[in-house]
Amino acid sequence: MSITITRCEARAIRDSRGKPTVEVSLACAGHTVSAAVPSGKSTGSKEALEKRDKDGIGVADAVVAVNDVIAPKIIGKKADSLAIDRLLIDLDGTDNKSVLGANAVLGVSIATAKLIAAADGIFLWKYIADTAKTTPSLPKLYMNVINGGAHADFRLPFQEYIVVPNDETISKAYARARAIMDNVGKELKKKDGAVTMGDEGGYSLRLDTLDEPFDILTDSIAQAGGGAFIAIDAAATELHRGGAYELLGSRYSAMSLSLAYKELIEKFNLRSIEDPFEETDTKAFEAFYADVGDAVLVVGDDLTVTNPGIVAEMAERRAANAVIIKPNQIGTLLEVYDAVSIAKNAGWQIIVSHRSGETMDPFIADLAVGLGAFGIKAGAPTQPERVVKYERLLAIENEHGIIH
């Protein structure tokens, strides 16, 4: 069906940290949709630019970019997702969306996809799969239950301690991940010191050794009957100071950090490590992947920033075997689909991710299913902004059942 865009309007809303972010409403005859843009804290230096006002906080300029620059160009145009994305890329004209802002551009890009799916009456995940030419499937839940690093004032070295249930269905995996998280909570009550909530809704506390969080996760998984592996996001760019990695007061070279990871892999069921080294240390990624890549997912995030050119380069260099996909790192779905296609052709796994500053938009659930992603990172189900992603996955599980 040919759909003409009749309205495009942005406004500022608040994210899960209470910081302003952009929401875009888009309409055609009979349908209105909206898309909200998340915001990261431990960002890669090569991510597309998130437009902030002079105070570094507000998004009034990004709202103006949508309302005054983008809207006049797309109102009256046919809603064709890839054509609108191409128009947005050309209208911005820079490599990193520094004119319009990736937050302005992405709101319009996602809203366009939603509008077409709504007007055509097809599931959003199905529309994404058709457009990206991917095969939909249900992702594994990467539930971040203990928060550290920049998301919790470095009370623990690694940013995310994640449990990944092996269950085939979302409902079973979600139940298991929640049970494991409850067990973690009970274990932590036995420890000294305050337990607070990190940015992604997980527990945050101070522990003294590298092993301790893994001991707690291992016990908590066993108490839930097993059936899950452990993943981490080391977010090592944040740990890198003065040429070395700082963990619990000790300094590590890339080589000694590799050995520390290998010990953790041997001792615990740790099967997926994101950003094990800082974003420019490609050689450390290459050596680590060559060493452990058969048994472990070596995942790029700051390393690859959802950028098709960088993903291609890292695949060529065999620096990883999995990639985090965060649409706001690049700005349009067209570029997300390119990055995914390159990664899949290289045999990499795809893990779609939220940001630490999230909104009530569940879009990444449809994105993960549509792209046939291996995993989805959506945080702990203690904040409504994370719960909506899991609820949407549960709903898709039923829709998926209807289709297949």
- Sequence ranges of the binding site for (2R)-2-phosphoglycerate: 159, 326, 355-356, 377
Residues contacting 256, CB < 8 A, separation 6+:
none
Instruction: Give min distance, CB of 6 to ligand PEP, in A.
Output: 34
263 catalytic? Reply is no
Stretch that binds ligand PEP, among 58-66, 72-80, 247-255, 353-361 (CB under 6 A): 353-361
- DSSP states of 322-360: EEEE-GGGTS-HHHHHHHHHHHHHTT-EEEEE--SB--S
- Tell me which residue has its CB nearest to ligand PEP: 40
Of residues 10 through 69, those in contact with ligand PEP by CB under 6 A are 40-43
- Which amino acid does the sequence have at 294? D
- Are the CB atoms for 4 and 29 separated by under 8 Å? yes
Query: How far are the Cα atoms of 123, 358, 366 from residue 370, in angstroms, in the given order?
Result: 10, 20, 6
Instruction: Give min distance, CB of 45 to Mg ion, in A.
Output: 13
The correct pick among 81, 306, 356, 359 for binding ligand PEP (CB under 6 A) is: 356
> Helix, strand or coil for residue 124?
helix
Instruction: Give min distance, CB of 332 to Mg ion, in A.
Output: 21
> Which residue in 47, 48, 90, 96 sits closest to 69, CA to CA?
90
Q: Are strands 228-233 and 203-204 parallel, antiparallel or unpaired?
A: unpaired
Instruction: Give min distance, CB of 101 to Mg ion, in A.
Output: 21
Stretch that binds Mg ion, among 256-264, 299-307, 311-319, 358-366 (CB under 5 A): 299-307
326 catalytic? Reply is yes
Q: Counting contacts by CB under 5 A, is residue 233 touching Mg ion?
A: yes
Query: How far are the Cα atoms of 48, 176, 191, 203, 248 from residue 183, in angstroms, in the given order?
Result: 39, 11, 13, 12, 25
Cα–Cα distance, 77 to 253 (Å, whole number): 54
From the list Mg ion, ligand PEP, none, which binds 355 (C-beta under 5 to 8 Å, kind-based)? ligand PEP
Task: Give the nearer residue to ligand PEP in terms of CB position, either 127 or 288.
Answer: 288
Catalytic residue from among 23, 47, 50, 200: 200
The correct pick among 301, 335, 361, 366 for binding ligand PEP (CB under 6 A) is: 301
Instruction: Give min distance, CB of 162 to Mg ion, in A.
Output: 11
Task: Give the nearer residue to ligand PEP in terms of CB position, either 27 or 352.
Answer: 352
Q: Counting contacts by CB under 6 A, is residue 235 touching ligand PEP?
A: yes
- Which pair of tokens denotes residue 370? 């549509």
Binding positions: 151, 159-160, 233, 274, 301, 326, 353-356, 377
Catalytic residue from among 46, 51, 114, 326: 326
- Are the CB atoms for 79 and 118 separated by under 8 Å? no
What is the chain's alpha carbon radius of gyration, rounded to the nearest angstrom? 20
From the list Mg ion, ligand PEP, none, which binds 306 (C-beta under 5 to 8 Å, kind-based)? none
The correct pick among 92, 301, 335, 366 for binding Mg ion (CB under 5 A) is: 301
Exposure string of 68-87, with b = 16+ CB inside 10 Å and e = fewer, is eebbeebeeeebbbbebbeb
Residues contacting 207, CB < 8 A, separation 6+:
156, 191, 213
- Enter the DSSP assignment of 402: H
From the list ligand PEP, Mg ion, none, which binds 176 (C-beta under 5 to 8 Å, kind-based)? none
Task: Give the nearer residue to ligand PEP in terms of CB position, either 19 or 206.
Answer: 19
Exposure string of 230-246, with b = 16+ CB inside 10 Å and e = fewer, is bbbbbbbbbbbeeeebe
Binding positions for substrate: 151, 160, 274, 301, 353-356, 377
Q: Counting contacts by CB under 5 A, is residue 47 touching Mg ion?
A: no
Q: Are strands 297-300 and 250-252 parallel, antiparallel or unpaired?
A: unpaired
Interface mask (CB under 6 A) for ligand PEP, residues 147-166, using x and -?
Answer: ------------x-------
Active site (catalytic) residues: 200, 326
Contact positions vs ligand PEP (CB under 6 A)? 40-43, 159, 233, 235, 301, 324, 353, 355-356
